[in-house]
């Protein structure tokens, strides 16, 4: 019988070890991996599960990513844009509920110019002064991202999608490149953002070898936040018949990423919870320590569908939040509404 004792103390797994971890059917090895991931996050963050208030403000997008349900070519979608006033009121509502991190997420919508984004950031800082502001708005220029930082943005999420260039090209039209996306991520780090990246598990063209490349890129970038979830097809894309990514593979990768990145803030993602009925808690039981309840107005939650059957129920009330807290308490965890900044040495937490 093969020994997997090295799982217990290896800080960074070799390519060969990663190959074994992602392909083995040894249940003892898989459970050892999971337990080490949980013990790793407990050493840094104890049993806190940080909650971020997600505000989806636009499903217009100028990009034509082949896998995405809100890509510009999809005509079978009800488009929406929140107004400045709607974004602000949604954020203030979340702030009053106790959220101290607000995440602005939208497609690459030209309507939201750099100046408009700066106006939103300043409005949030004025009305929610001690809240961290996270942007998830696609690639913007270095100058724009610098201006957002100066206006008060703290964090920036930009998933690299796939660190394998061939796989990346399969997912995107030729006006996008992996080189450009990777460069954008390093520019965000240079500007002092708490930077987040991630990828889709089981996306078209991906394999164990491509996910090993994803892990190695994350080692190189050293992001403060890492978000992964299974690929889920959308009925209006060319990949509508591609199977959903493996939940088991997603959880193993999540555990590996936690072990190799002890201080990272890692969400148990909506995609994971959509693909698996207990995906939210399974993510946490494999090393995740962030949840992102959706504060968006109902019409926005229903229309911001990157993939099919997205779980879109909000947690916009005290009752729902208490319910979530009670659910996590059963597993020994507690909700934490604080900013929950990265606790490693490389973050700028202003």
The angle, 0 to 180 degrees and rounded to 10, between the axes of the packed helices 114-127 and 142-151 is: 20
Kindly state the percentage of the chain with pLDDT values over 90: 84
The second-level CATH assignment, the architecture, of 7-336 is Alpha-Beta Barrel (3.20)
Give CA–CA dist 293/259, Å, rounded: 25
Kindly state the percentage of the chain with pLDDT values over 70: 95
Radius of gyration of the chain (CA): 19
pLDDT of residue 162: 97
Using a CB cutoff of 8 Å and minimum separation of 24, what contacts does 319-325 make? 320/293, 321/51, 321/97, 321/98, 321/293, 324/291, 324/293
pLDDT of residue 308: 66
Predicted confidence (pLDDT) at residue 350 exceeds the cutoff of 50: no
**226: β partners:** 197
pLDDT digits (tens, 9 = 90+) for 86-129: 999 999 999 999 999 999 999 999 999 999 999 999 999 999 99
Any idea where the domains of the chain sit in the sequence?
Answer: 7-336
CA neighbor of 291 nearest in space, from 274, 309, 269, 312:
269
* pTM of the predicted model over 0.85: yes
Assess contact for 256 and 231: CB atoms under 8 A.
no
pLDDT of residue 254: 98
Give CA–CA dist 23/106, Å, rounded: 35
Output 272 or 134, whichever has higher pLDDT.
Answer: 134
Predicted confidence (pLDDT) at residue 13 exceeds the cutoff of 70: yes
pLDDT digits (tens, 9 = 90+) for 221-272: 999 999 999 999 999 999 999 999 999 999 999 999 999 999 999 999 988 9
pLDDT of residue 151: 98
- Could you identify the residue written with the tokens 């926005």? 300
Give mean pLDDT, residues 126-153: 98
pLDDT band at 3 (very low <50, low <70, confident <90, very high): confident
């Amino acid at each position: 019988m093969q020994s997997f004792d090295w799982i217990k103390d290896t800080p960074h797994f070799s390519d060969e070890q990663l190959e074994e971890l992602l392909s083995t059917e040894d249940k003892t090895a898989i459970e050892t991996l999971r337990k080490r991931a949980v013990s790793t996050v407990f050493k840094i963050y104890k049993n806190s599960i940080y909650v971020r208030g997600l505000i989806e403000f636009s499903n217009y997008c100028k990009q034509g990513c082949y896998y995405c349900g809100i890509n510009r070519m999809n005509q079978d979608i009800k488009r929406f844009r929140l107004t400045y006033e709607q974004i602000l009121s949604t954020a203030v509502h979340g702030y009053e509920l106790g959220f101290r991190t607000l995440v602005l997420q939208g497609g690459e919508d030209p309507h939201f110019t750099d100046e408009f984004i700066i106006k939103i950031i300043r409005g949030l800082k004025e009305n929610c002064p001690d809240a961290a502001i996270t942007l998830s708005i696609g690639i913007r220029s270095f100058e724009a991202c610098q201006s957002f930082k100066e206006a008060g943005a703290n964090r920036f999420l930009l998933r690299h999608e796939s660190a394998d260039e061939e796989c990346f090209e399969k997912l995107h039209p030729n006006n996008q490149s992996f080189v450009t996306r990777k460069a954008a991520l390093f520019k965000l780090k240079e500007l002092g953002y708490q930077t987040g990246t991630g990828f889709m598990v089981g996306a078209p063209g991906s394999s164990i070898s491509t996910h090993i490349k994803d892990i190695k890129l994350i080692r190189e970038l050293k992001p403060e936040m890492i978000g992964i979830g299974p690929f889920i097809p959308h009925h209006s894309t060319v990949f509508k018949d591609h199977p959903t990514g493996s939940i088991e593979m997603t959880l193993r990768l999540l555990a590996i990423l936690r072990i190799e990145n002890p201080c990272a803030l890692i969400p148990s993602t909506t995609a994971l919870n959509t693909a698996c009925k207990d995906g939210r808690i399974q993510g946490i039981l494999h090393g995740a320590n962030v949840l992102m309840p959706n504060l968006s107005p109902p019409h926005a939650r229903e229309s911001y569908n990157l993939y099919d059957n997205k779980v879109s129920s909000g947690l916009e009330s005290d009752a729902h939040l208490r319910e979530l807290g009670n659910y996590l308490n059963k597993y020994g965890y507690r909700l934490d509404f604080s900013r929950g900044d990265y606790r490693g040495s490389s973050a700028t937490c202003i």
